[in-house]
Structure 1
């Protein structure tokens, strides 16, 4: 249906007429006892016959008389008599003022300024005494930012908490603002300053409002703070981090107190620069940062180091933290609710009054968290405890066990000298393990090196039937074999030499190599193996020749197979699975607990102190991703995201890493057995060293296949239908991508990305040798 031409013309004409009022926010005052004003008003009504007129002066005079005679209970007749007496011969139509609101096309008859204020504030008494009200009417308050700031400004105006209000915001009203800003749809696309100034004028046309339509800038900040009299209080509700810092630096210089309310958990910041002129801005939270750089920051990633200490990530509400994970995923910005904004306005107005009346002198950060103050009593149900491992094996226990073990002597076996033993153990110390948990203890006695499983260190949800630990043992054993080869030694290995000691993984002996013996092509390369989690600037393909060499070296281990994906679209599909699997891992309480409490090290100091785990800095996180990790540390956040079936932000890092791969490799073995997983680890070591030697970085990303194996061979996912169903679906997509894998004949052991990196990661810290090795 076509729009009627006349209708189109009329709507355009009326829109243009309305837009002519878009910058007007000051009403026109007519005192018709003045002949000039009377003539102007007459002309206005003649030219604009559509103007609506509201005359409630009689009602207002009634309230005035009651307020002037609080001790009397007056009848209607008595009130009428006193009104006539008060008018003193003036016609009611001429008494007071007529206020014209151009944007409303409404003319309103009200009492003049002094009587209007007296009647309008009458019900403030004696929460606010007349003396205090008079003092407040001499005060000037500035409000920067008019989302939360709109509620603050209107509450201040309603309470008449000041005599002058300066408001600043460069923005216009959007439809998305109407979830928290009290306004009408007719105001969409109007300046926020104009909307607020109009609303205040409609409440109290005598309250002085000064608008800074361009917002706050370096050029106008001093005028905002001091022009026509210095502000008595600055209220900061802006979003811009540069303006937050700038306005405080300037307010501190002028000794103006600053008040800020965040609409999450009723967070209040008070900075009394008037009483503490040397107080650091923002309570010193950003003292370690160079604030001169703030105005040059462009992206959110650049701003995050400044935003983070101001926001206080750890003190945000659970829902706000969860929502932040969803920014640029399912939402565009952080959420705010009308309820929080509204009571934030009330809290701020209350604090403003107390500060201006010198009833409050404190500085600091405070919380008025309604959800915390008014809440159901805590549940009596005990919180589920995370499963805990039994205490790991100790060296005295190892000595006792070895004393009762009869290990067959290998032909030609020799004792290692101190130098050889030291080099062998240095290689063992550097061995790779899942999450760098180093689940081993080594014991050397009478020419035999024993490898024991320290089960306490490998305890995890993903380590189903110890498969993750066994892969690590395979990596270590192959590394030792290659190191021995470089030292002209042969390694004789007995796996699980005593069925009565399940924690005894291997007994290793050494003999001198024949001088004509051909060394392994990877001998002497064990020191180059390195995990790299960086993102390459450019995705380069790996040549067929190099992939062929990697395949040859990997498959030297009996039963091992390696499968590559190089196609960019298929890599993207697998990267999506990698990302979602890492997220779903966090949706298991044990997986979340293990990652954040046992595996990750959030500071270098922590990494140095523990000598294990993964240093978060090695992940090459952007500031935004680092915040995401800190937020994800809260298990309640993960519980919410799982409930919402969201959390795609938790997938971003792994997806990004996967997509940046030159290739993705999957190593498989024939069976789901301890021996096959150890042999799979040997294959992984060979793949890793070959790739690193060719200049290709390796980044293990195994969460998906570990959970697929649990799905197939265990029951760990049966208690959670959502996780079970989702991993089942991902399993199907994954093996469609790796179509060369025969799922009946092959078991996935290791998944990683291959890529060319511009830089190397520092190796993860390792436990001191005396923590993992002892000899008789």
Structure 2
């Protein structure tokens, strides 16, 4: 057997990367290959399969296809000489791996888009130093797994002891081995292409400059050492050089950040230790170091168990305690904070806590009820100040007023916000007012969505009064968008002879929004005709699309607008405000949209969980991600029997108010005919806001999506001067549907006189 150079076999030597296209490397490879004591591991085909999947993310391969393609790829790229071979002396293993770029891309593919390609490239230029390899080991490995650096410098003078194995990821075969060796080997086994520089004697006054500067100045120093004098000394030098410092204490998830790069004169440890000289701390016994530790950590911020443990130092324990869960948490926090800082996402010095006891065992805050008292009082005051000649000739009894308003409130409203306030005044007139605080949102531009709801509520009043023999006159007050006073209902007379047959009366209370996605069934032509007949003699128009290609086209338009809404900060917050995430929350608030009303599968439910996480959505918004949102409503449109677009003559308050009345009759009639009805109109409201003065409310990326979608809708509908007011889905479905709650009448109806 050939004799190999001794360093190749030394237990503590570094790993060796062999490129078979180089003569010396090939010679070493052949020698190693002949050594029967060395394991040869060639799983390059598995890695190539991963590479092929990475390069073809939208394609689904069978196992056989993938196996064939990986073999073809290997043959076309040099066979055994493709990529590199890595020799790990301590494991006596020779392993075949992908070339550096491909290895990096495949290994970090699951980082995307938690870490974008651009961010990954920035991080790979950074130099990070870690001093102290207890918590520091966890930080170093987390940074390595995420590939959050180009060079890692590690320093620790200590060797592994049995007592370290309560918190260090290692094994008894490494007892007595230097911690720097253990960490550098683990990094090499994860990613042999990463650069690790080892200071096996730790840091000291003599080598601190080498640690911070050799090979280029560190971008970040992570302090996890136990030595108090070294903590102070490192910070003094880091401050001089403008290097930020991170530290985790492994207690209550405390993360300490000192931005000496941004604050060159910042006091060390936030000024908690004053002007203490690190030299004074060198030879202090443990008992005298504890007061300094308490200055640094702050006694009030320590966990109760840590406070108690300090009393046991040098009694029943030799040092302050640490456990695996705290150390692993510290590693995660350190790695996450490092990445955020190096990418410019975190700029503040300070002290932060992730306390498991608080997170897991503090009772969660209950859902807070929406407070609208101030707005209600304001509308009542305005009602008192309104002067006019309206007076009812007939006094409808109080219990009938309550019954009437309860019936009116069965009308639909965008997001089920129920934006109405009814005031029965001293002249016996029922006034309708707009509670704008309830409805203010991105989609309710100029109150247009609310006006449709008011029109529907007034139509319910007409239906109720006709069926109950009450003669009324509805006086519309709104003349401009934004006005609070909408309309008045004047009662003229009541008599049994005035009762008229009202075929929709019994169906108002049965009107529902049906979001079930079931097999598509065509709607009978006669039923479609009955919906069209509702608009005969009016200036309004209804267009119903039934062909699959039209439904697909509308799904794409609507999907893009769903994406815009989630990307848009206000649109997203509005969505969170209107969704009721649990049945208990829906019952408590009696408004909003109950999540149970959506026909969601597991994927959609998972997506909703993502949407509810503000931090995740901030990342999506920042990097313009989230194309999956365009698919949320795919099933809604593709399973539709038809999609209807309700069109008005112009963009005025009167058009929306009167349109709401007609829309209510369409909705109830559809339900009466056994046709389910679901609003899918958010895109139209978005278009109106954007094109009628609200362009500033959207980013350039959102604006481009809106422009493209609107142009597509125009081509489909063939619009000229008409205004699309509302879009809805019609379906023939079977199954139980969760109905939305309505606020108590007492919350929406106020009497200004004794009746």
What band does the TM-score fall into relative to the shorter chain? 0.5 to 0.7
Deviations 1:395-444 (A, max 9, x none): 4751563354224235xx42222442232122133221100111111112
1:176 paired to 2:50:
yes
SS at match of 1:551: helix
> 2: distance between equivalents of 1:356 and 1:534?
60
1:353 paired to 2:170:
yes
Answer yes or no: is the 8 Å Cα contact 1:718–1:724 preserved in 2: no
Deviations 1:166-186 (A, max 9, x none): x9x9x9444425999xxxx99
Aligned to 2:104: none
Q: What is the TM-score normalised by the length of structure 1? A: 0.55
2:553 to 570, 573, 581: 573
> 1: distance between equivalents of 2:442 and 2:385?
33
Aligned to 2:227: none
Q: What is the TM-score normalised by the length of structure 2? A: 0.57
Shift of 1:699: 0.9
Aligned to 1:439: 419
Aligned to 1:340: 145
Shift of 1:582: 1.3
Shift of 1:603: 1.7
2:598 to 606, 612, 619: 619
1:55 paired to 2:4:
yes
1:559 to 516, 522, 539: 539
**Aligned runs of 1:209-228 on 2, under 5 Å?**
none
- In structure 2, relative to structure 1, the CA distance for the partners of 1:594 and 1:60 (3 Å cut) is closer
1:771 paired to 2:747:
yes
Shift of 1:263: 10
2:502 to 517, 520, 526: 520
SS at match of 1:176: helix
Answer yes or no: is the 8 Å Cα contact 1:55–1:110 preserved in 2: no
**Aligned runs of 1:23-38 on 2, under 5 Å?**
none
1:743 paired to 2:720:
yes
Deviations 1:316-350 (A, max 9, x none): 98559xx9xxxxxxxxxxxxx99525689x99998
SS at match of 1:515: helix
Aligned to 1:754: 730
Answer yes or no: is the 8 Å Cα contact 1:54–1:108 preserved in 2: no
SS at match of 1:751: strand
- In structure 2, relative to structure 1, the CA distance for the partners of 1:418 and 1:177 (3 Å cut) is same
1:509 paired to 2:490:
yes
Aligned to 2:608: 629
SS at match of 1:699: strand
> 1: distance between equivalents of 2:637 and 2:436?
31
SS at match of 1:580: helix
Deviations 1:436-495 (A, max 9, x none): 111111112343211111110111122221111111111111112112222222332111
SS at match of 1:452: strand
Deviations 1:672-722 (A, max 9, x none): 111110111111101100101111111101111112222332233576333
When structure 1 is superposed on structure 2, of 401-410 and 426-435 the one drifting more is 401-410
Aligned to 2:451: 470
2:432 to 451, 464, 487: 451
1:490 paired to 2:471:
yes
Q: Report the number of matched residues.
A: 498
> 2: distance between equivalents of 1:264 and 1:712?
39
Shift of 1:189: 9.1
Aligned to 2:671: 692
Answer yes or no: is the 8 Å Cα contact 1:263–1:340 preserved in 2: no
- In structure 2, relative to structure 1, the CA distance for the partners of 1:516 and 1:408 (3 Å cut) is closer
SS at match of 2:586: helix
Answer yes or no: is the 8 Å Cα contact 1:482–1:524 preserved in 2: no
- In structure 2, relative to structure 1, the CA distance for the partners of 1:355 and 1:667 (3 Å cut) is farther
1:370 to 305, 313, 335: 335
Shift of 1:527: 0.6
Shift of 1:659: 1.3
> 2: distance between equivalents of 1:697 and 1:708?
26
**Structure ID, larger Rg:** 1
- Report the RMSD for the aligned CA atoms in angstroms: 4.9
Answer yes or no: is the 8 Å Cα contact 1:464–1:714 preserved in 2: no
- In structure 2, relative to structure 1, the CA distance for the partners of 1:672 and 1:400 (3 Å cut) is closer
- In structure 2, relative to structure 1, the CA distance for the partners of 1:724 and 1:199 (3 Å cut) is closer
- In structure 2, relative to structure 1, the CA distance for the partners of 1:713 and 1:514 (3 Å cut) is farther
> 2: distance between equivalents of 1:355 and 1:701?
63
Answer yes or no: is the 8 Å Cα contact 1:618–1:762 preserved in 2: yes
Aligned to 2:387: 405
SS at match of 1:460: coil
Shift of 1:752: 0.5
- In structure 2, relative to structure 1, the CA distance for the partners of 1:476 and 1:205 (3 Å cut) is closer
> 2: distance between equivalents of 1:65 and 1:474?
81
> 2: distance between equivalents of 1:571 and 1:489?
43
> 2: distance between equivalents of 1:693 and 1:627?
35
Unaligned runs of 5+ in 2: 14-25, 55-69, 76-83, 96-106, 120-141, 155-163, 176-320, 349-369
Answer yes or no: is the 8 Å Cα contact 2:446–2:482 preserved in 1: no
Aligned to 2:315: none
> 2: distance between equivalents of 1:512 and 1:494?
18
Aligned to 2:574: 594
